[in-house]
Structure 1
Amino acid sequence: MSIPASVNTNMSVLIVDDEPGMRSFLIKAMSKKFAVVESASTIAEAEALRVQGHFDVMIVDIRLPDRSGIEWHEALDDTERQSDIIFMTGYADMDVAIKALRAGATDFIMKPFHLEQMMTAVERCIEKRLLKRENFMLKRELSHGQSSTIIGSSNAITEVKQVIERVAPANAVVLIEGESGTGKELVARQLHQLSGRTGPFVPVNCGAIAPELLASELFGHVAGSFTGAKTSREGLFNFASGGTIFLDEIGEMPMNMQTALLRVLEQRAIRPVGSEKEVSIDVRVVAATNRLLVDEVEQGNFRRDLYYRLNVLNILIPPLRARPEDVVELTYHFTLQISQELGIKPVLWSHEDLEVLKQHEWPGNIRELKNMIERCILLGKPPAEYWKKTTTTNLSDNYGYPMSWTLKEVEKQHVTQVVTAHDGNKSAAARDLGVSRKTLDRKYKEWFGQDVDDNSEVAE
């Protein structure tokens, strides 16, 4: 059995043995598979290394000069930094083996041993850790249900694809800017897929997580660090090890978390909530926002130093109204996708339907187009029935928005219609619109001059 190459940059090994020959033998073998391999000759030396960083696997001799490996309680009982421990000994004592396994060892190997035997034991530890992370990420991927294909052949979107190909191989931070619904997560996924990084893609909506829980979600926590933290838990930065973490709605991040994130970007290490120890990470950060962060900085809502740290590489996604030639291609894509999900034959749209779709301003961008196609398919009504042209070339006031309206007027009308459709439930409306509840509250305050609670009416 051979350890996958993807393990190289994601996992670390500590070898603890007082025999120089054994340490040299294992270091040489492990260094071919892992980027981080450390060694120590005593428990004291090993503990000093362990508290400085995290080791996924520790190979420990039982008989050591200062104390027995089985008595290394700091490592065996550490629920914050759990490591898989493989004990080894040159003394054939079954009672010792049983005691080691009861103490929390993952495996027990007798000396002398073949290298393949040790590598197999290490592989079992690694596979168990990777499986845990993969299962976690698979559940997140299924819940997101995201495609990874960027649809469109317009000059605007072609330029975006070219920028992605240029910056993907770099490990530098990328900031993606664009209106809600333009496909910022798809761009982030493309960056990850073309980066060559072997770890997972981990999307996080910073605006959808309660501020008081965001640190725990991102960095993890130790048992007892806050009410309800009965056990230690790894954060999303841990699960993104070797891969990419996508911080969507970065503009919604509270100021205290902005400070913590800046430190992570500068130190390349995270500190779990309730812990005094930092854990090194190998994660590429991609952030996205539908706000103008420059304006947020000037207004004091976003840290200037964090903005410059995030804006190393910038990708601006054009709104759908700036590339109407992509509407038809996107319509065909969503029609096929939704029809397959519903188990029905794909609908054939008329030329009139496609022309109506191309002329719409799409304030909700691609997300709004997809929702529109889905409604048309489910209700059996083609787009032309929703937006009928008048002799003045304006769209019907009953079904759409006059062409003379400004974008802000269209946005206000569309958002308030969605809120009304949800009987005033702004939380549900925010989910449909693809924005955070905080963003919706800010819009209402801007438009109506006061905060509006769920299920309340607004006089226009």
Structure 2
Amino acid sequence: MEPTVLVADDDPCIQRLLAQMLQTLGYRVMLAGSGEDALAQLGEQPVNLVLLDLNLPGMDGLEVLRRIRKCKARPAVVLISGSVSIEDAVEAMKSGACHCLTKPLSLKDLETTVREALTQQMLDTPGPGSAEQVLISASPAMREVVELVRCVSASPATTVLLTGETGTGKELIARELHRSGTRCHGPFVTLNCAALPAQLLESELFGHERGAFTDAKASRCGYFEEANGGTLFLDEIGELPLPLQAKLLRALQERVIRRVGGNRDIPIDVRVVAASNVDLVAAVEEGRFREDLFFRLSVIPIYVPPLRERKEAIIPLARHFCQLFARQLGRPVREFTEMEQMALLNYEWPGNVRELRNCIERAVLLDKPIDVGSGLCASESEAAGGVQDTLVLSLENPSLAEAERLLIQQVMARVNGDEHLAAELLGIHSATLSRKMDGHGTRDRCRDKVLLS
């Protein structure tokens, strides 16, 4: 059955246009002219995705979004608007939107965004056929991890530190901890510490009072307050700036927070689950991470093994992703050949489950055989083994910044401008890579090299 998309927009012309575009792409479409109408329809029948206008009459889009996130069956939500301020975009992401689109919409942007949102929604939905269940059931190593998680879930306040390479499924483990414990009916709130600039991170994590800074026109609660009664998942905790590490330590020890610009302590009831793909012990030794915070977070340390250490899960996961994307794209599900299975098993998967998912999605989308040895854009196996044998630096004016700039430039050229894959190969978050590219002024140069190659 085709996915159902609910379009919530008060402009009949926009409604008709989006309905035509979505129906052309093969989706079933429902229409709502107000936030109240959208919520009523969500209560009557299942919906996979909501395209939600920010400026609805009466109940605005952000309030509708907050109410949708409290529904038992939570559809993916994409916010649409004529113009979205940075403040509204951050608030929308914090409230659970997976994308923000600005009008006018192109068919290509709509198709890409809707497909990605629906795919992520299916992956995040628990159940016998979810990626989480396939990952756990097919891997003894992961079953051991989950058994430990379920033991920890009996203690609702114990902090947990998840470590492991990028793409191994640390957020899935955090969600399992949340669902199997007494906090399962509370919110599960996620924050990637590398995804926001340092000047915004404190306000988003702890909230702010009106007038705390230039654009603080109203008081706003932060992620800690949003997660009250539930779980706060802090991904890439190693990227948290040192001044914020001290505030986080106080919140964990005293179970209170203070908003930016505030003068009173606010009690919190939150389990914190942190995750890192970098060596935090080394970060402590180098002075980049507080030792006291490390020990406070790692009450229960859990290591999530990379995919190459649980090869028995590769084929079941690949089949799951193949079925998922085939259903999403309206394609027939095909069986893997023996050669394809051997290629999948022999590859090291430096990007782990995320890279496997991307590989299968490309194969299904382009209707090509799976060939991890040669890849469809650039050789994943070559990229995993190294971008280039040598990195040539000038000895006249050597610097780490120059080495970093050249390395990013070479990685981007090798992966044909795929920032997500480049970030995985470099072992950093894509938002971190984006900031570094902007700082080095390499974005245009990387794009030009891809266009000329």
TM range (shorter): 0.5 to 0.7
**Residue 221 of structure 1: SS of its match in structure 2?**
coil
Residues 441, 451 of structure 1: 8 Å contact kept: no
Q: Cα deviation per residue 1:22-62 (whole Å; 9 max; x = unaligned)?
A: xxxxxxxxxxxxxxxxxxxxxxxxxxxxxxxxxxxxxxxxx
Which residue in 2 is equivalent to 1:343?
330
Task: Give the alignment partner of residue 419 of structure 1, picking from 385, 388, 412.
Answer: 412
Task: Give the alignment partner of residue 172 of structure 2, picking from 186, 189, 202.
Answer: 186
Give TM-score, length-normalised by structure 1.
0.61
In structure 2, the CA distance between the partners of 1:132 and 1:373, relative to structure 1 (3 Å rule), is closer
Residues 364, 433 of structure 1: 8 Å contact kept: no
Residues 383, 415 of structure 2: 8 Å contact kept: no
- Aligned ranges for residues 238-387 of structure 1 at < 5 Å? 238-384=225-371, 386-387=372-373
* Distance apart, 1:342 and its partner CA: 1.5
Which stretches in structure 1 are left out of the alignment for 5+ residues? Answer: 1-129, 389-394, 445-449
Equivalents in 1 of 2:97, 2:134: separation in Å? 21
Q: Cα deviation per residue 1:88-128 (whole Å; 9 max; x = unaligned)?
A: xxxxxxxxxxxxxxxxxxxxxxxxxxxxxxxxxxxxxxxxx
Q: Cα deviation per residue 1:110-168 (whole Å; 9 max; x = unaligned)?
A: xxxxxxxxxxxxxxxxxxxx998544666554526352424332222221122112112
Which residue in 1 is equivalent to 2:212?
225
Which residue in 1 is equivalent to 2:152?
167
One-letter code of the match for 1:184? K
Task: Give the alignment partner of residue 445 of structure 2, picking from 450, 453, 456.
Answer: 456
**Residue 247 of structure 1: SS of its match in structure 2?**
strand
Which residue in 2 is equivalent to 1:151?
134
Equivalents in 2 of 1:431, 1:216: separation in Å? 28
* Distance apart, 1:454 and its partner CA: 2.1
* Distance apart, 1:325 and its partner CA: 1.3
Equivalents in 1 of 2:151, 2:387: separation in Å? 33
Residues 425, 455 of structure 1: 8 Å contact kept: no
Q: Cα deviation per residue 1:328-372 (whole Å; 9 max; x = unaligned)?
A: 010011111112222222232212111111110101110000000
**Residue 204 of structure 1: SS of its match in structure 2?**
strand
Equivalents in 1 of 2:338, 2:172: separation in Å? 29
One-letter code of the match for 1:235? G
Residues 174, 313 of structure 1: 8 Å contact kept: yes
**Residue 443 of structure 2: SS of its match in structure 1?**
coil
One-letter code of the match for 2:412? V
One-letter code of the match for 2:173? V
In structure 2, the CA distance between the partners of 1:272 and 1:188, relative to structure 1 (3 Å rule), is same
Residues 181, 434 of structure 1: 8 Å contact kept: no
* Distance apart, 1:408 and its partner CA: 11
Give TM-score, length-normalised by structure 2.
0.62
Equivalents in 1 of 2:233, 2:325: separation in Å? 26
Equivalents in 1 of 2:340, 2:276: separation in Å? 32
Q: Cα deviation per residue 1:266-287 (whole Å; 9 max; x = unaligned)?
A: 1101111110011101111000
Residues 271, 278 of structure 1: 8 Å contact kept: yes
Equivalents in 1 of 2:420, 2:355: separation in Å? 18
CA radius of gyration, larger in:
1
Q: Cα deviation per residue 1:171-217 (whole Å; 9 max; x = unaligned)?
A: 20000001000011100000000012121100111100111011111
CA RMSD after TM alignment: 3.7
Residues 195, 431 of structure 2: 8 Å contact kept: no
Equivalents in 2 of 1:432, 1:225: separation in Å? 39
Equivalents in 2 of 1:298, 1:381: separation in Å? 47
**Residue 246 of structure 1: SS of its match in structure 2?**
strand
In structure 2, the CA distance between the partners of 1:275 and 1:287, relative to structure 1 (3 Å rule), is same
Equivalents in 1 of 2:388, 2:162: separation in Å? 22
One-letter code of the match for 2:180? L
In structure 2, the CA distance between the partners of 1:416 and 1:324, relative to structure 1 (3 Å rule), is farther
One-letter code of the match for 2:181? S
Question: For this pair of structures, how many residues does the alignment match?
Answer: 315
**Residue 273 of structure 1: SS of its match in structure 2?**
coil
Equivalents in 1 of 2:65, 2:162: separation in Å? 30
One-letter code of the match for 2:445? S
Equivalents in 2 of 1:134, 1:404: separation in Å? 43
Residues 258, 306 of structure 1: 8 Å contact kept: yes
One-letter code of the match for 1:244? T
Residues 181, 364 of structure 1: 8 Å contact kept: yes
**Residue 181 of structure 1: SS of its match in structure 2?**
coil
Residues 65, 96 of structure 2: 8 Å contact kept: no
Which stretches in structure 2 are left out of the alignment for 5+ residues? Answer: 1-62, 78-94, 99-119, 127-131, 390-403
Which residue in 2 is equivalent to 1:74?
none
Percent identity between the two aligned chains: 41
In structure 2, the CA distance between the partners of 1:368 and 1:408, relative to structure 1 (3 Å rule), is farther
